Structure 1
Amino acid sequence: MTQNNTPKIKRHLGSTTRIPFPTRSIILLEQKPSKMLSLRKLSTLKSSRFLSSLASIPGIPSCNYYDTRINQAGREGNFETVGRLLNKRVLDGFFNTNNTFKFITTTNLTILNDLLETIAQLDNNFARKCSYDCLIARLSKMHFIKEATRVAEVMVSEGHAAANNATFHPIINALTKKEEFDEAWRMLDVMKSNGISPDLTAYNYLLTGYCFIGNLTSAARVVEKIDEEELGADTRTYDALVLGACRAGELEAALALLRRMVDDGVSPLYCTHTHIINAFLKYNYYEQAVEFVRCNAGRDLKLDAENFGILATKLITRSRFEEAKELVKEMSERRLTMGPRLKDFYELNVRS
């Protein structure tokens, strides 16, 4: 990438030209405006705050209360108590968490059969569904893909709970993070064979995985599948494509995608902007990085603080002190929040 091919920020931010990337155009889901909280929702919100305050009182049930006792019973092999607690927490209105099945480790997978039998005997479908999904998430995080898949297929074959896309998401996510893409595609086939059509989130995991390593050819294949199945596109879809373009050094395409998102009313994630900032810095396009941050400023104070802060911090790390001074000075003028490091830099180098 040469200086003559430097991306023109203002041209992309002010243009409505649509550039298909990396394949034919993506059909976007219509964004529905948010609604005001109803009185019932407001009442529920107040109730949830009340419950949260009660949860801090010793002896009053909470998610942590149940997780602690479930893990203690699990480590002791007392699955009758595990089942009772799983039932009771649902009745008390508490969901399972990432910590619910932490008693499962690499050294005690033999207890999986006992736990599956316990979950199968829970009182209602909701409790069973939540527990199965939570167990799959735990196994996937530990990268026990075979065991996680087995639990998902138990859900389908024995009818204890309604397996759906969310059931398989942790498995696909774990596989793509390890760049085990063939296995991830096979997992989509497992879903289809069990009557579950992969949704946009499942494909987004694959798309993000390919874009992270800069494999745009395979990413295009995923986008084609999304198009074929008319799943639309969301912020995660676009974020992955912007990441892929940046990883491949296609900054013009990344800017065009960001403009496309704004034109179509799809709000970019904060990290979508960060992908572009990082790409500019990778190729030493410091002026363009500053221009990009400024051109996107003024619509969201939190986003502005994030973008200015990230860029200023990275410029300081690269000893680009003059550009960093200008940015922190502008952050102060815009009344944007600074972290401790930037505050110190501002006090020492700008304010004084």
Structure 2
Amino acid sequence: MALFRDMEESGLHPDIVVYNILIDGLCRAGSIKDARELFYSLLSKRLQPDVRTYSIVINGLCKEWLLTEANMLLKKMEESGCSADGCAYNIIVQGFLRNNETLRAMQLLQEMVEKGFSIDACIMTLLLNLSNNSGLDQSVLEILNKFL
């Protein structure tokens, strides 16, 4: 971060790619508070977060079990005119499934399917494990059957 601050102080203006790298590194290091601060500072620097930026922060929040905040950020992303992609949906659905919030995961799965996105292999594995271990309700099995 010191090098980054030196860049800014010397008049260099990093682009969104540089910020994505920094935010991702902070999230991976478990510094979600710093990642959030950097993310929310983007607009004051006249930079618009892109789908990758949002996905990085959503992933960081999910890894810290901050699923409500991650879900709110997904909604904020859409409201700001940045359309979520399959990757963003897959990240948050995985978070909800890993936290046994099946109903919320299924709502997002239905939304992503309606938008034409595919379920990734990780989600499929989590769903198959859930169906084998706990007996999912009929609506979940119907969604699962669409992809088999």
Superposition TM-score tier, normalisation by shorter sequence: 0.7 to 0.9
Amino acid at match of 1:292: L
Kept in 2: contact 1:280–1:289 (CA 8 A): yes
Q: What TM-score do you get using the length of structure 1 for normalisation?
A: 0.36
1:238 offset after TM fit, Å?
A: 1.2
d(CA) in 1 for partners of 2:5 and 2:15? 10
1:297 aligned counterpart, secondary structure: helix
Over the aligned positions, Cα root-mean-square deviation in angstroms equals: 2.7
Q: Which runs of 4+ in 1 moved over 6 A?
A: none
1:306 aligned counterpart, secondary structure: coil
- In the comparison of the two structures, how many residue pairs are matched? 144
Kept in 1: contact 2:58–2:88 (CA 8 A): yes
How do residues 213-292 of structure 1 correspond to structure 2 at under 5 angstroms? 213-292=29-108
> For 1:7-29, what per-residue CA distance to the aligned partner results, in whole angstroms no more than 9, with x for missing partners?
xxxxxxxxxxxxxxxxxxxxxxx
Of residues 311, 315, 318 in structure 1, which corresponds to 2:127?
315
Amino acid at match of 1:200: I
Kept in 2: contact 1:242–1:257 (CA 8 A): yes
Is 1:186 matched with 2:3?
A: yes
Q: Could you tell me which runs of 5 or more consecutive residues in structure 1 were left unpaired when the two chains were aligned.
A: 1-181, 332-337, 343-352
Query: Judging changes above 3 Å, is the alpha-carbon distance between structure 1 residues 250 and 306 closer, same or farther for their aligned structure 2 residues?
Result: same
> For 1:185-239, what per-residue CA distance to the aligned partner results, in whole angstroms no more than 9, with x for missing partners?
415635864x642111101111122223442221133125423322122112211
State which structure, 1 or 2, has the greater radius of gyration over its C-alpha atoms: 1
1:297 offset after TM fit, Å?
A: 2.9
2:82 aligned counterpart, secondary structure: coil
How do residues 1-352 of structure 1 correspond to structure 2 at under 5 angstroms? 182=1, 185-186=2-3, 189=6, 193=10, 196-300=12-116, 303=117, 305-306=118-119, 310-318=122-130, 319-320=132-133, 322-323=135-136, 325-329=141-145, 331=146, 338=147, 342=148
Report the structure, 1 or 2, having the larger helix content.
2
Query: Judging changes above 3 Å, is the alpha-carbon distance between structure 1 residues 189 and 217 closer, same or farther for their aligned structure 2 residues?
Result: same
Q: What TM-score do you get using the length of structure 2 for normalisation?
A: 0.77
